Structure 1
Amino acid sequence: MIKKYEKNPIIFPGGEDFRKVVTFNPGAVFDDGKFLLYDRAAATLSPFRTAIGLFESTDGKNFTPVGDQPVFTSEMLGYPEGSVQDARVVKIDGTFYMNYAFQPYGFDCFPTGEGVPFYDTSKYTDWAKCEYPMITRSGIATSQDGINWEQLCFTSPEEIDDRDHALFPEKINGKFCLLRRPMDFVGEEYGTTQPGMWITFSEDLHDWSKPQLLATAQEAWEGGKIGAACNPIKTSRGWLVLYHGVDENIIYRVGGMMLDLEDPTKVIARSINHIMEPTEYYEKCGLVIPNVVFPTSIVEKDGIGYIYYGCCDTSIGLATVKVEDLVDHLFDN
């Protein structure tokens, strides 16, 4: 059903200085006859500071870089030693919106080959200003041309770890809709014993409704937490949402769910088994984390979903699927 492109990885490290070491977890959008793809890239592992760059393509497969500099950096937020990560991009009413994750200070990344790198913050003393090292905040940047970006707002408070934010590509009942994964929303008061996917609404992108718990891990392959993988896409049968799970062996896989078109707080279908997993060498072996497929965008064009995904925090892969077939599978499995 989901077919990985035979020429993967479609983007790999090298070329521009800021992506010499890794390029992964891309956001993508189709606009004005072009696929725009926003990668997360780093020049070194020590320090491991990532910025967001831009590629473009007319066929969704063969990409060329737009410029030799990132289009969005933590320096633009006032934190020159930090990182911006995992762009997820939509266009609503003529404006591009980029969800991003943000870590304010530097750290070193030492791969272990065991699934979780060793992140060292000992040289970066500004982390003492945060609730704890490696905490991640999320925000939204906007652009009128898809190239020049400026900060709009943060979508999570600075005192909690909250990432995997993804806007719906249109307003629902006159409101923006956002998926998120706050790691600290666990316990009796939150109605869950594990981090999960939450949903919230806003009229202006600044003031958000009280988040509602949308989904938590259910299957062994999902592990102890799940998070949104891509911005949802609209289908005739509901909102299609891809999400990721990580099992006890630290293998990153992908599932899918359908949300009600008028009330996306309702899950109306969901995969039991994963729909993507690491099978190819470039998904099993990488510079940072092994055994990872991590989609951060799905773009629909002519009924085909182009799924762009990070491979082992090192390179970028492409998979395609007939959207109607994937939706049918989620309802029928």
Structure 2
Amino acid sequence: MLSQSFLLSFLLCPLVLAVNPLLSEKAGTPPINRNSTQGDSSYRAPYFPILNWTQYENNPILGANQARGWESSYVYNPTAMVIDDMVVLIYRAQNSSLISTLGLAWSTDGYNFTRYTDPIFYPTESYENRGTEDPRLIRVNGTFYMTYTGYSDSDGVKLCMATSVDLLNWNKTGPVLPDIEHSKSGAILDEIQPDGTYHMHWGDDQLYLATSIDLIHWTMPTNNTYATSILEWEQALIESGPPPVKTRDGKWLKVYNGVASQTQGNYVKQQYSTGQMLIDPITFPYGPPVARLETPVLTPDTADEKQGQVNNVLFSEACVQFKGQWLMYFGEADTYLGVASAPVQP
């Protein structure tokens, strides 16, 4: 297990390549490589919206592990992908000093997970010396591209990128938008668009657009504001959830998180809920969304979501289709990790 002192010894390491030799030698982790299959074998693309979400009765499915210092305080905010007929999670964990690292877990049913003993991703660079947070994952041509938040004393919050082929050894490519003072929450469409670029929505007040030809180097168009808050439950801010999912009619379904600015109706001030919007990067590449649901599909309803490190938070960051159902994975009050399911449309 990596101790806190071991992690901190890497904080100012100048290397871009972050390889943990213990991971390569450790038995028991899924043997993921470039030839691993992605997605459910019976996958059916959705229509917008995906409805009828039900929270799992045995939530939370993951929490802090006191026996492992790096995840001894909190476990939440995961990304997920179906690889080799397993749901693979990369989740955010915090130690007693609240420094965030990323852990790996996998499941053959989507609910019961086996955790790897050590963090697979941790601070090594000056721009992330206070933590590596909130991953979002896509895979293109056998390579995993992970956006995450680097948090540091000097640079604050920066949207960053890393790549891998096995989810164990990572190449960090640095801040995605280095000239932006505050950036986070990058969700990438995993197909190149007709304009020859990949599209990413990012931001945690409103959604902005950035584009790239190689998934590493990103630029912002002049008209980069993609979507703003318009509904009662999202008036304080909107923030990307998982990477968008392509619909059957060729548009994209985007799950996102919204925050209420005041207590009214069914919403509590600063409550994080989960919504859906329909986007069309071909006809409206710079936004706005084609449509969005008027009410959220998931709200903080349980005790684990209403009270924790940050109260009244259900923060969705992963959505996969697995064995005939959609599974949404989310953080509960920045303390636990939960899941909800929805049926696949016929």
Superposition TM-score tier, normalisation by shorter sequence: 0.7 to 0.9
Counterpart-to-counterpart distance in 2, 1:60 and 1:208: 36
Within the alignment, does 1:20 sit opposite 2:54 as a pair? no
After TM superposition, give the deviation of residue 165 of structure 1 in Å.
0.9
- Which has a greater percent of strand? 1
What SS does the aligned partner of 2:184 have?
strand
Q: 1:234 aligns with which of 246, 249, 254?
A: 246
Deviation of residue 18 (structure 1)? 0.8
2:78 corresponds to 1:39: no
The answer to whether the aligner puts 1:305 opposite 2:326 as a matched pair is yes
Residue number among 226, 231, 237 corresponding to 1:225 in the alignment: 237
CA distance, structure 2, for counterparts of residue 322 and residue 239 of structure 1? 18
CA deviation string 1:177-201 (max 9, x = no partner): 11111x6xxxxxxxxxxx3101221
Give the corresponding residue for 1:214: 226
Report the Cα offset of residue 306 of structure 1. 1.0
Decide which of 267, 273, 279 is 1:253's aligned counterpart: 273
Partners of 1:137 and 1:158 within 8 A in 2: no
Q: 1:240 to 1:48 in 2, by over 3 A?
A: same
Match of 2:210 among 174, 194, 200: 200
Residue segments in structure 1 that go unaligned for 5+ positions in a row:
106-126, 184-194, 326-333
Distance 1:282 1:196 in 2: 27
CA–CA distance in structure 2, aligned partners of residues 306 and 256 of structure 1:
14
2:332 is the counterpart of 1:283:
no
In 2, the alpha carbon distance for the partners of 1:70 and 1:79 equals: 19
Alignment RMSD: 1.9
Match of 1:74 in 2: 123
Cα offset for 1:323? 4.8
Take 1:278 and 1:240, find their aligned partners in 2: how far apart are those partners? 22
Identity among equivalent pairs (%) = 29
Relative to 1, partners in 2 of residues 1:35 and 1:5: Cα closer, same or farther, differing over 3 Å? Answer: same
Task: Say yes or no: does 1:48 pair with 2:69.
Answer: no
Name the amino acid aligned to 2:206: G
CA distance in 2, matches of 1:16, 1:262: 47
Query: Which letter maps to 2:118?
Result: Q
2:69 aligned with 1:58, yes or no?
Answer: no
Gaps of 5+ in 2: 1-51, 263-268
Which residue, out of 127, 135, 145, partners 1:87? 135
| Corresponding letter in the other structure for 1:93 | N
SS in 2 for 1:279: coil
TM-score in terms of structure 2 length = 0.77
Equivalent residue letter for 1:165: G
- Cα offset for 1:79? 5.7
Aligned residue for 2:12? none
Amino acid paired to 1:69: D
**Higher mean Cα deviation, 289-298 or 218-227?**
218-227
Are the equivalent residues in 2 in contact too, given 1:259–1:265 (CA < 8 A)?
Answer: no
Deviation at 1:170, TM superposition (A): 2.3
From the superposition, tell whether residues 158 and 20 of structure 1 become closer, same or farther in structure 2 (CA, over 3 Å).
farther
2:182 corresponds to = 161
Query: Closer, same or farther in 2 for the Cα pair 1:158/1:323, shift >3 Å?
Result: farther
Q: Equivalents in 2 of 1:233, 1:42: separation in Å?
A: 29
Aligned counterparts of 1:17 and 1:202: Cα–Cα separation in 2 = 38
CA distance in 2, matches of 1:317, 1:169: 25
Partner SS state of residue 186, structure 2: strand
Q: CA deviation at 1:16?
A: 2.4
Deviation at 1:297, TM superposition (A): 0.8
Q: Which 10-residue stretch deviates more, 309-318 or 237-246?
A: 237-246
Structure 1 residue ranges (4+ consecutive) displaced by more than 6 angstroms after TM superposition: none
- Alignment CA distance shift 1:79-1:255 (3 Å): closer
How far residue 8 of structure 1 moved from its aligned partner, in angstroms, is 0.6
Q: Which residue of 2 aligns with 1:151?
A: 172
Report the CA distance shift for 1:275/1:206 in structure 2 as closer, same or farther (over 3 A). Answer: same
Cα distance in 1 for partners of 2:323, 2:246 equals 13
C-alpha displacement of 1:136: 0.7
Give me the whole-angstrom Cα distance separating, in 1, the residues matched to 2:282 and 2:231: 27
